[in-house]
Structure 1
């Protein structure tokens, strides 16, 4: 059976109400225990996830219910200086200052990966499912650190892979939405109409939602439409199913 992998990004105290709304929305289409959450330990340095907090207790209960927890950077904010035109273009145009791991040196990238993993595991009592860089953007040094950090899975816009071996486990674009401008909303609505007919043929289809989506009714309606289409052809699965496959 074809697999549908569905994730909520930027999970943390900063976006607690948005995560609740998105979780309720997605649960209309797939079992909660098949979802993934990408956890940010300290969003933009102003919203720390504390192990003894109420939100940490919610993460633990979601994990107990079967939700897969990924480390999703540490700050989610890009504070690096970028060398090279390609990196500067990605930092400026592919994300709104949130490509945290695009310009980090190896030691800093590894430290943030490991610290995020250890915090999330201390809260849930379970291994994290993997690591996903904010905005799906990785610099060369971050990729080196990731390969040595012991994560079972990683993901970017176009694939899911096993960092220790480089083995690609699934290919194809992530269906996602953007809410930070009218132009981004319009382009993501168009993509959400065009991609599902193509993804229906893929062995693995990936869909990701973000807190900003929760504030735009047109995006929520588009998410519903896309999931209604994809759940006809794909069964909701877990990311670690890819390792078994």
Structure 2
């Protein structure tokens, strides 16, 4: 008769959840999403992706009240990632990058076309700002729209971050070692067609992705504008919280 494997030898399945585009301009939406995630995960064991100055309209540096809120979330256990600087893409692209900029995001792939020097400046200045606010190291860097150009990837290896992720994986930002694989489950609110396709993918993911050892769920401020998206997010969190332990990205290391 074979003995059942002990918990100590069974690999933990992990659920990594995150709120993107957090900043003074998305305060109300971030609070709403924070409440939803806490209810389903049972604790503030999720991440926030902080934008220092979203589209140049919401400078975090000048908003002391929101800084205090970020610090409180961090102190409660929320992981804080640097999420670009402006989030807006102002580069001129060609080839594959042009396709990504046009079809994978609405002008928000800030780090897709940056050269290494510019990318490194924005990364390190954002890191310093956010770490000064939260009083501890940032969890890592995640490029807006999960899009990295060659300059951004080169800069990332020098910027001192522990972790990074894109649509398909999480990796060690210094060594490039892959720590988790699989698509991010996320939603889209900016058009009826994109909303429908994201709802369909989430439904498929709830059936197909439980086999993954690490499942990632990412929500955005715009998600709160549609009840259908909130319902899908809630159902998806409930599904995976039943089989995967809500975890921190840092647990992958």
TM-score range, shorter chain: over 0.9
* CA distance in structure 2 between the aligned counterparts of 1:27 and 1:240, rounded to whole angstroms: 18
Aligned twin of 2:235 = 225
Q: Among residues 50, 65, 69, which one is paired with 1:58 in the alignment?
A: 69
SS for the counterpart of 1:161 is strand
Aligned twin of 2:221 = 211
* CA distance in structure 1 between the aligned counterparts of 2:47 and 2:30, rounded to whole angstroms: 12
* CA distance in structure 1 between the aligned counterparts of 2:84 and 2:168, rounded to whole angstroms: 19
Aligned twin of 1:45 = 56
1:42-77 Cα deviation digits (max 9, x unpaired): 000010002661000000000000100000000000
Aligned twin of 2:7 = none
Gaps of 5+ in 1: none
Gaps of 5+ in 2: 1-11
SS for the counterpart of 1:190 is helix
Structure 1 position 32, deviation (Å): 3.7
Q: Among residues 189, 201, 208, which one is paired with 1:198 in the alignment?
A: 208
Aligned twin of 2:45 = 34
Aligned twin of 2:160 = 150
Tell me, yes or no, if structure 1 residue 166 matches structure 2 residue 176: yes
TM-score for the superposition, normalised by structure 2: 0.94
Aligned twin of 2:251 = 241
* CA distance in structure 2 between the aligned counterparts of 1:147 and 1:198, rounded to whole angstroms: 33
Aligned twin of 1:11 = 22
When the two chains are superposed, the root-mean-square deviation of aligned CA atoms in Å is 0.9
SS for the counterpart of 1:27 is helix
SS for the counterpart of 1:45 is coil
Number of matched pairs:
242
Q: Among residues 73, 76, 87, which one is paired with 2:87 in the alignment?
A: 76
* CA distance in structure 1 between the aligned counterparts of 2:13 and 2:219, rounded to whole angstroms: 20
Structure 1 position 199, deviation (Å): 1.6
* CA distance in structure 2 between the aligned counterparts of 1:141 and 1:196, rounded to whole angstroms: 35
